Structures are given as structure tokens and as C-alpha cells.
Amino acid sequence: MRAVLSTTFRSLHIPNYRIFATGQLVKLIGVWMMFTAQDWLVLDLSGNSPGALGVVTALQFLPVLLLTLWGGKLADRYDKRKLLILANAVFAITAIVFAILVAAGIVVLWHVFLFASLLGVANAVETPVRQSFVSELVELPLLPNALALSAATFNTARIGGPALAGVALALFGTGPVFLIATVLAIAPVFSYWRMRPAELHRADRRPKAGDTRIVDGLKYVRKRDDLLLPIGLMAAIGMIGFNFPVTLAALAKIDFHAGPSSFGLLTTALAVGALCGALAGSGRRSRPGAYRVLGAALIFSVFETAVGFAPTFLVAMILLVPTGFFSMYLAQAANHRVQMGVDAQYRGRVMALYVLVFLGTTPVGASLAGWWGEHFGVSSSIWAAGIVCLLASVAALVWQLRVSGDKVSVSVGPRPRLTLIRSEAAEVGEAEVGEAEVGEAERAPARSIAA
């Protein structure tokens, strides 16, 4: 058990990463408390209008669609730590003003729309910078573990934040919950401030303004088939398959005639699976292969389709655990493949593109899922999304086989077998990537992880 724990949480031995993870956990608990209280506030102010909730969700994610690439440009041009201090300070100040309006009892619906947009702007800049900043906190061999623990932190907060918000709403009301959430959301400002800049793994030379054009980052990705696959695949699955915040509430209430507590069980089942999926990727030490990403995508698609056909509430809840597991395992494997295969000078812009296709498409996918569920049934919106994701995964697999020259051999008999036959060119390419990763790790400043 000690060996397993030591492997799973080894990035926490790095002081800067430990400070980073602590600040993120505290902030994310506050953010999820805020989002939960915000949903109740919107329903109160709008007379229980689902449409108003949809508008708030769209306003939160629309800035991601518009500003994320610009945030990636900033990440490649300026000091990421200072950018994160600034972005989180703006987020905290905006949240404080919003919480004061709510606590004073003078908030109206348009205030919620306005502050959702402002908080979305701060997140649109902060997210790609934070994603690329993790590579400066740890050495390259530890990067998969650090990213996996970051995902585990997110899902831990996603489980605990709404639960704490529910208790606090019952005890104190909406205003105090916003104030508590705001206090927690300030944590990253202090955590980034306390870090030791001298121990960060940074490039020796800071790029000039002309070296960080957004279009250059897009051209870089276009020339890299190994980056196009995970980014393109997550664009399709992120938009169509990852709409559970929209579909699970309707599934619980409309199809299974359940109450808010039962909806919480569905969300918790999904989050528990996602947390396990994040921890499962924490032991990874090298860049995952394309077929690991594709395999996770195929399995996730099958389980999501099964959730849509679940005959009872209990069956749906059970199926959501492996669905959450493979959703996070897929997202982590794709993230690791992108982060560990990109040159440091392009990392901010490439991760901004990844965030754009993964989160920026949420308004489109959420609106589509809501429209489909309203016209054809909630359960059909889930299994239809699963089938679309399955088709996208199969298409990505065919594309990968064609680009790499690999082949799949199927043997039929008493023991059917599916065998992947790798081409020599693909094996050489993977070896070259591995050598490049080792070289970059060797050039990084040496530091013991037993601090």
C-alpha cells in the first residue's frame, strides 16, 4: 500500500506542485459551491426557468470559445506564474462583488448573467495558462502524474463542493454560501505567490512578441498528426459526449421521476468514476500511445450508449461509474499525449487549442443536447450522443491506421483475437518521440523528488 501511495502521489513531493495542488483544491471547492448556489439563485430569480439556466451556462463558457487562444498566446509570451496571480485576482474580486450583491439581497437576474460572463472571461485566460504551467512545476517524467493528480483534485472538489453547498444552503441561505465560496476562491492567489520561482522548470530564453503568434501555433498543430488525433477526437467527444450536467438532471426528473437527492446520486456516481479514472492515470511515466487514447474513447462511447438505454434508475447509476472512469481516463490520456509531445515554446498555444475544443464547444453541445432531449426524449439524447462518439472514435481509428501504416488483424475461431500490427515507420516515430522526451528531461534542472 505504501508503494502504491508513493507512486500515485509522487508529484506532491515537489514543494511548488504541493502548493499548487492545495490552492487548486481549496479554490475548486469554492467554485463548485458557487456554481451550485448560482443555479438555485437563477431558478429563484427566473421563476424556475430552465432556459435561464441554459443562458448562464452559455455565458460562462462563451468566453472560452472567444478568448482561450489569446490566453494561450499570453502563456507562451509572459511569466505564467504572474499571469495566474493576475487572472485569479480578477476572478476573486469579481466573485467578491457578486457575493456582496447576493448577500445584500439586491441581486437581479441580469446581474447573474453579467457576472457569469465576467467570471467566464477570467477562466478563459486562466485555464490554458494553468494547463501549460503544470509542465513548469515538475520534471517531464513526472508530468503525467502531476496532470492526473490535477484531474483528481478537480473531481474531488466536484464531489465535495456541491455537497457542502447543499448543506450550507439549508443552514445559512444563498448569500452566506456565496461569501464562503468567495473566501475559498481566493486561495490560488496566495498559493502562486508562495511558490519558489527559482525551482520552476522554465525555458532559458523568453520568446519575443513575434514568436508567439496564434496562427503559428495552429500551423504547428496542423503539421503534427500525433497532435491532430487527440485534439480532433476530443473536439467531437467533448462537444457531443460530455454533456452530463445537462442530461442527468433531466434524466433523473423526467425519465425516472426522481427528486434532487436522486439527481445528486447520479452526479456523484459519475464523479466517483471520474476520480478513479484520474487516479488510474497517475502511474503513467511516458507519453501514452494513440491507441490507448482511441481505446478509451471506444469504451467510453459504449458505456455512454448503455446509460441511455438503462431501464431503471439503479442501472443508470451503476453504469455511470465506468462511464465517468473512462471519460476522465480518455481526457487525461489525450491531455498527456498533447502535453508530452509538444515543444515547450508552443505549449501554451497548443493547450489553449485543446481547451478551446474541449470546453469552448460546451455551449453548442449543451444547447444541442437540450433541444434533442426536448423533442426526442432525454434518454435518446444520451444514447444518441454515445453512438455519435462511437462513430467518431471509429473514424479516428481508421484515420490513425491510414496515417501510421499500421494494420489490424482479426482472427475468427474458438478464441477470436484482434491484433495490431505496427509498421516500422510508426515504431521509429514513437522511438524518436521517446528520445526527445528523455533529452528534454535530461536538459531540465535536476532536483530530488524526496524534498
Let me know how long the chain is.
Answer: 451
> Burial code of 58-91, b = ≥16 C-beta within 10 A, e = fewer?
bbbbbbbbebbbebbbbbbbbbbbebbbbbbbbb
- Residue 205 pLDDT exceeds 60: no
Domain topology for 1-198:
Growth Hormone; Chain: A; (1.20.1250)
Model pLDDT for residues 362-421, shown as the tens digit of each residue: 777 877 877 787 778 888 889 999 999 999 999 999 999 988 888 877 776 667 676 777
How does residue 440 score in pLDDT terms, banded at 50, 70 and 90?
very low
Any alpha helices (H) in 281-407, and if so which ranges?
290-308, 313-339, 347-359, 362-376, 378-404
Q: Residue 306 has what pLDDT?
A: 95
pLDDT at 216 over 70: yes
- Could you give the C-alpha distances from 81 to 151, 171, 188, 198, 214, in angstroms and in order? 20, 38, 11, 12, 20
Burial (CB count within 10 angstroms: exposed 0-12, middle 13-18, buried 19+), residue 240: buried
Q: Is the pLDDT of residue 106 over 70?
A: yes
- The pLDDT-based confidence of 40 (bands split at 50, 70, 90) is confident
Give residue 276's pLDDT band: very low, low, confident or very high (50, 70, 90).
Answer: confident
Yes or no: say if 174 and 41 are a contact pair by the CB < 8 Å rule: yes
- Please check the confidence at residue 206 and state whether its pLDDT lies above 90: no
50 — pLDDT class (breaks 50, 70, 90):
low
Alpha-carbon distance 189 to 92, whole Å?
A: 9
**With bands split at pLDDT 50, 70 and 90, how would you rate the model's confidence at 434?**
very low
Q: Is the pLDDT of residue 438 over 50?
A: no
Q: What is the pLDDT of residue 305?
A: 95
If pLDDT is split at 50, 70 and 90, which confidence band does 153 have? confident
CB 207 within 8 A of CB 53: no
User: Does domain 211-451 sit in CATH 1.20.1250.20?
Assistant: yes
State in Å, rounded, how far the first CA of the chain is from the last one.
21
Per-position b or e across 303-313, b if 16+ CB within 10 A of its CB: bbbbbbebeeb
Task: State the residue for C-alpha cell 438503462.
Answer: 310
What's the confidence (pLDDT) of residue 70?
86
| 397/219 Cα distance (integer angstroms) | 23
Position 442 confidence tier, pLDDT thresholds 50, 70, 90? very low
Outline which parts of the chain fall under CATH 1.20.1250.20: 1-198, 211-451
- Mapped onto helix, strand or coil, the DSSP state of residue 444 is coil
State pTM to two decimals.
0.74
* Cβ–Cβ < 8 Å for 120, 59: yes
Average pLDDT of the residues in 164-178: 79
Separation of alpha carbons 297 and 287, rounded Å: 17
Q: For the chain, give the mean pLDDT.
A: 81
Confidence of residue 435 (pLDDT cuts 50, 70, 90): very low
Instruction: Name the percent of the chain in helix, strand, coil, to the closest 5.
Output: 80, 0, 15
